[in-house]
Amino acid sequence: MESLYPFLYSGSTPDLDAVLAEVRASTVAKAREITELRQLIAAQDATRLAACATEMAARFSGGGRLLAFGNGGSATDAQQLATLFLDPGPGERALPAYCLANDTAVVTALCNDVGVEVVFARQIAAFGQPRDIAIGLSTSGNSENLLRALDEAARHGLLTVGIAGYDGGKMAELDSLDYLFVAPSSSVHRIQEAQTTVYHTLWQLTVASLAGIR
Amino acid sequence: MSAAPSAAVGDNEVARLFERRAASLDEFAGHAGTVAAACHAMAVRFHQGGKLVVFGTGASSTDALHVAVEFVHPVIVGKRALPAISLTADAATVTGIAEREGMGAIFAHQIRHLAAPADIALGLSADGNSESVLNGLLTAHGMGMLTIALAGAGGGVIGASPAVDHVLVTTESDPRVVKEAHVTAYHVLWELVHVFFEQPGVLGPAVVS
């Protein structure tokens, strides 16, 4: 921290212009960081992203639905993922998708009565169908409730997709995952930004693949 | 699976889609001065006891939730929790206002009743033309709140509104790419507000521009 923002530790009178200059430089550096991370993921995952989207298209084509889930900021990504398929905008094909973090009655009931580790697994057990798709988003890859949900989904025959960060965490050790996409960074923020591109790309490729299915 | 033609989704297409994102990040880096000014203004408001009020429709409604949790429950250990609320979480209120008064009123109503003049309004709009986001910003500005906007597709009416104190405009019009630029923008706003906030000397009246 001290090396990043030395003016904070100098002990001298704060100089607003110096702080503003540091913040500008930091902004430029962070923008470069995320672009480099995206280049890395495109190089490492292009083939598997395309394969995953092809399988997702086949699931939708067979009447399957997308169930997305995550915690905290990743819960909002799961919501974005679901609404992207369900309400993609004019000229795009709407597809069935639902975010398992949406319903505060269900989520708080499961948290209160059983525990946070079952909030997504129980919902998958309740309405997941073998032809559906389960996508779990986590920056650490370690969220217990995601690991349980992906295991539950695999048991029911769903296509299972994990989107993680760092080195993939415990998700990388999960036998139940059909696809895992990792944003290899140690910044939670850059991970989430890259994950957004991963699932936006999955959507775009899935829609393109579906257009090819007659 | 063999149902779909593999030609539709080749590696080159994936590389092209990822590469497409770079220009909006370069543009964001070019707005570093606006980012710094917005972070400073936000830090001053927080320092004075203000809270952050965030809003957007459609995909941006999920960003509003993300921003709120970012400030209230920081992912980086040791960073101070700062007060923030999203105006997109309360489906009862949003749908109630939308049915009774129209979509254009959903955020302005909540701002009038939940916000105070010392607060910060942050509106997100992928096409820059969301009527409800614009009305929220206009109402906030009228109350004396600090107003900040993230607007895509060249900024639209929100980007051009004199009621917005700091606006970060993305030229890109693909709403997915705009959203990604917005995620980086609000992550950076969060990260760099703390640089000022941890140095209250630059938040005092003597240095507030």
pLDDT at residue B140, as a whole number: 98
* Element counts in chain B: helices (H) and strands (E): 9, 5
Residue A16 has pLDDT above 50, yes or no: yes
Contact status of B198 with chain A (Cβ, < 8 Å): yes
Rounded to two decimals, the pTM is 0.92
pLDDT at residue A11, as a whole number: 53
Q: Which residues contact B155 (CB under 8 A, 6 or more apart)?
A: B128, B167, B169
Pairwise CB contact (< 8 Å): B180 & A197: yes
Find chain B residues with C-beta within 8 A of A200's C-beta: 17, 176-177, 179-180
Please tell me what DSSP assigns to residue A140: S
What is the interface size between A and B, counted as CB pairs within 8 Å? 190
Pairwise CB contact (< 8 Å): B4 & A193: no
A-chain residue closest to B88, CA distance: A76
Residue B5 has pLDDT above 50, yes or no: no
CATH superfamily for A13-211 is Glucose-6-phosphate isomerase like protein; domain 1 (3.40.50.10490)
Domains of chain B, first to last: 31-200 (3.40.50.10490)
Contact status of B154 with chain A (Cβ, < 8 Å): no
CB nearest to A76's CB, from B7, B66, B192: B66
Find chain B residues with C-beta within 8 A of A32's C-beta: 25, 29
CA distance B19 to A214: 30
Residue A188 has pLDDT above 60, yes or no: yes
- What interface predicted TM-score (ipTM) does this complex get? 0.90
- Reported as half-sphere exposure (CB side, CA atoms, 13 A), residue A79 has a value of 21
Q: Looking at A49-53, A181-185, A209-213, B90-94, which range is the least confident one? A: A209-213
Q: Is A31 helix (H, G, I), strand (E, B) or coil?
A: helix
For residues A24, A26, A32 and A37, what is the CA-based torsion angle, rounded to 10 degrees?
Answer: -150
pLDDT at residue B204, as a whole number: 76
